[in-house]
Amino acid sequence: MKKEPTVKRNDDMRPEYDLSQLKGGVRGKYYRSAAAGTNLVLIEPDLAGLFPDSASVNRALRVLAEAARSTTAPKRQRTR
């Protein structure tokens, strides 16, 4: 005789979902194509709190990149 589980699962699955129809799924089917166009960067929590969304992070990085580009641009030499 099987014992009943002591912890009851909290099953939020709706009864109209028939899992027997979900045959043939492939795990990671789109992984390579998704990863090819993604550059994931982890930001430290103290910095993440400064930026409300990804658009503000991108804006700040563009300003920083432009500043770096302008300060490291080669100087023109005067010809005599």
State the chain's mean pLDDT as an integer.
82
Q: Does the residue 49 lie in any domain? A: yes
Q: What angle do CA 43, 48, 49 make, to 5 degrees?
A: 160
Q: Does the residue 31 lie in any domain? A: no
pLDDT exceeding 90 applies to what percent of the chain? Answer: 28
End-to-end CA distance of the chain, in Å?
101
Q: Does the residue 56 lie in any domain? A: yes
Q: Does the residue 15 lie in any domain? A: no
Q: Does the residue 79 lie in any domain? A: no
The token pair that represents 15 in the structure block: 């009864």
In the predicted structure, residue 46 carries a pLDDT above the cut 80: yes
64, 51 contact by CB (below 8 A): no
The structural domain count of the chain equals: 1
Q: Does the residue 3 lie in any domain? A: no
How much is the pLDDT for 19?
Answer: 76
Range of the domain at 57: 41-73
